[in-house]
Amino acid sequence: MGNLNDGVKNRTYDAIVIGSGMSGGWAAKELCEKGLKTLVLERGRDVVHLKDYPTTNMLPWEFEHRGQIPEEIQEANPVVSRCYAFREDAMQFFVKDTEHPYVQEKPFDWIRGYQVGGKSLLWARQTQRWSDFDYEGPARDGFSVDWPIRYKDIAPWYSYVEKFAGISGNKDGLDVLPDGEFLPPLELSCVENYFKDFIAKNYKDRHVIYARCAHLTEPKQIHLDQGRGQCQNRNLCQRGCPFGGYFAANSTTIPWALKTGNMTLRPFSVVHSIIYDEKKGKATGVRVVDSHTKEVLDYYARIIFVNAAAINTNLILLNSKSNRFPNGLGNDSGILGKYFAFHNYRGHISAEYNGFMDSTTAGGRPTTAYIPRFRNVRKQETDFLRGYAAGFFSGRFGFPKADGFGIDLKNNLAKKDLGPWRVGSHMMGETIPKETNYLSLDTQKKDEWGVPLLRFSVEYDENDNKMVEDFSEQLTEMYTKAGFTNIKTNDSKQAPGLDIHEMGGALMGKDPKTSILNKWNQMHACKNVFVTDGACMTSTSTQNPSLTYMALTARACDYAVTKMKMNEI
């Protein structure tokens, strides 16, 4: 018995964080810095900054298939093969379909990164703040539930995380996309600047700006203290950056947490469920299955942060069943797993521009220009709800034609004909969370760790279809007026999920009857459990969500530790 007790003692911490990615890394950093002995559970392997980036310094000609993924791997893994970043240089950071199956009642592309750092190694690093046009959206337009917070509640926390992460941007002074704590922006191209000025002159409420991104364009002391350096514009970020030029948990929050001496990182730890104690009326720990040995181990803590990434957070909560919570932890309302949403990335447009033919760009810029949402912002204008933002990029990517053979061919390939400027945009549409878009547990099938497989019942609706059409129409008009030619639009019809912006299922809200979490990301019905990843999102906005997860996490950690000190949790 003595041994058993010792074992329990050794497996007891002040806090447990489930997940080590975008938001889990922040929870680890914040809780460790505040002095809490923190166990960070990661289901995948460790990926140590610099050491575990095997492709980071490889030259293009050193890749056996020049970046392409072999047919055999693509055939066996159709879902992940649809992801733009699943290429020879980064495939080691993606989950293969065959390794972790799931059930698609309706098609859903679930893109995953099971390792320390999660998808923060792989993200597109776009960091636009959300505004009150987003936080007030559900209340104004009557969907989902009212956000329990407003911009003023989170604004200081945006600043807090931006300063540490390092965000490059311009002060644009737009209420639809509030300014932040910015490092200098990178340059826009001549065509992007032309389009920016053209749109400003010709549209009252539309803007083209530099897309804010998590890159150290000019590192401050805090970034140097993290051991990170200036972004070198390699634009090979998905391999892991040898300079720490962009924000990844691996280069930033995880090593920072480790340095406090308060973090214990346990890779290969598949979380089965959160343990609820009915007598105490709170969660006491986390049940883990060691991914190699399959050994089941319980770990204990006073508070638990769930940051497994939106979908797996839903899975863990749904699988955390007890007499008190027969339908999943905190799920008195029955809405856990429902109101699951994502971003509509179906619309694309491309064109050419024949101006500035004597100019081009140099270097690999890791961001683009950005068109903030302009539809239905101040009032409802269209027959669909909400709106979309769009990227805007330009460059001269022309490659000489491989005409002829022999010496002719070689001469042709040596020509420096960059062709006209090519421009393009992709849409980032807000989707409406609905009860009918949901995740659930399979009642029969389990994975090899004894965790039920997740079932996806998520699809687009008419609102999304109308929005794709409007994107094509509006962007075509803007492009045409600006003198772009050879305009082509495309609806990729891609399945939900490929946007990799999954959100919802454990909504924040004011009322326990219609939401799972309160305004502090704390479970209404289980006060020592916090959810601060994509699962908490009440609505989806048009802006990339990661920055908001970071800010919500830091804010929730601050609240949780304050309440712990007051012995309230």
Partner 1 sequence: MPNRRVAIQQLLMIWAGAALLPSCLQNEQKVSIPLKLIHILPEDENMLADLSETILPKTDSPGARDLSAHLFALKMVDDCYSKPNQQKYLEGMKSFESFVKNKTGKSFSGLSDAERRSIVADLDKQKSSGDAMLFFYQSTKKLTVQAYTTCEYYMTKIRGYKMIPGKFQGCIPLKTA
Residues in touch with partner 1 (CB under 8 A):
57, 59-61, 64-66, 68-72, 186-190, 192-193, 232-234, 236, 356-365, 399, 402, 404-407, 409-410, 413-414, 416, 418
Minimum CB separation of residue 408 from partner 1 in Å reads 9
Identify which of residues 334 and 364 has a Cβ nearer to partner 1 in the complex: 364
Minimum CB separation of residue 379 from partner 1 in Å reads 36
Identify which of residues 178 and 395 has a Cβ nearer to partner 1 in the complex: 395
Minimum CB separation of residue 54 from partner 1 in Å reads 16
Identify which of residues 56 and 463 has a Cβ nearer to partner 1 in the complex: 56
DSSP 26: H
Identify which of residues 98 and 562 has a Cβ nearer to partner 1 in the complex: 98
Beta strands at 12-18 and 38-41: parallel, antiparallel or unpaired: parallel
Identify which of residues 236 and 389 has a Cβ nearer to partner 1 in the complex: 236
If one counts every other C-beta atom within 10 angstroms of the C-beta of residue 487, the result is 16
CB-CB contact of 338 with 437 (8 Å): yes
Identify which of residues 103 and 190 has a Cβ nearer to partner 1 in the complex: 190
Pinpoint the alpha helices (H) of 41-172: 71-76, 78-81, 132-135, 137-141, 151-165
| 3-state SS, residue 80 | helix
Q: What is the Cα–Cα distance from 523 to 526, expressed in whole angstroms?
A: 5
Q: What is the Cα–Cα distance from 257 to 35, expressed in whole angstroms?
A: 10
Identify which of residues 139 and 418 has a Cβ nearer to partner 1 in the complex: 418
The length of the chain in residues reads 569
Minimum CB separation of residue 389 from partner 1 in Å reads 21
Q: Return the structure tokens found at 83.
A: 């992801």
Identify which of residues 65 and 378 has a Cβ nearer to partner 1 in the complex: 65
Minimum CB separation of residue 482 from partner 1 in Å reads 17
Minimum CB separation of residue 229 from partner 1 in Å reads 12
CB-CB contact of 454 with 423 (8 Å): no
Q: What is the Cα–Cα distance from 548 to 190, expressed in whole angstroms?
A: 31
Q: What is the Cα–Cα distance from 486 to 354, expressed in whole angstroms?
A: 11
Minimum CB separation of residue 479 from partner 1 in Å reads 20
Q: What is the 3-state secondary structure (H, E, C) of 158-226?
A: HHHHHHHHCEECCCCCECCECCCCEECCCCCCHHHHHHHHHHHHHCCCCCCEECCECECCCCCHHHHHC
Minimum CB separation of residue 254 from partner 1 in Å reads 25
Tokens 């269209």, residue located? 382
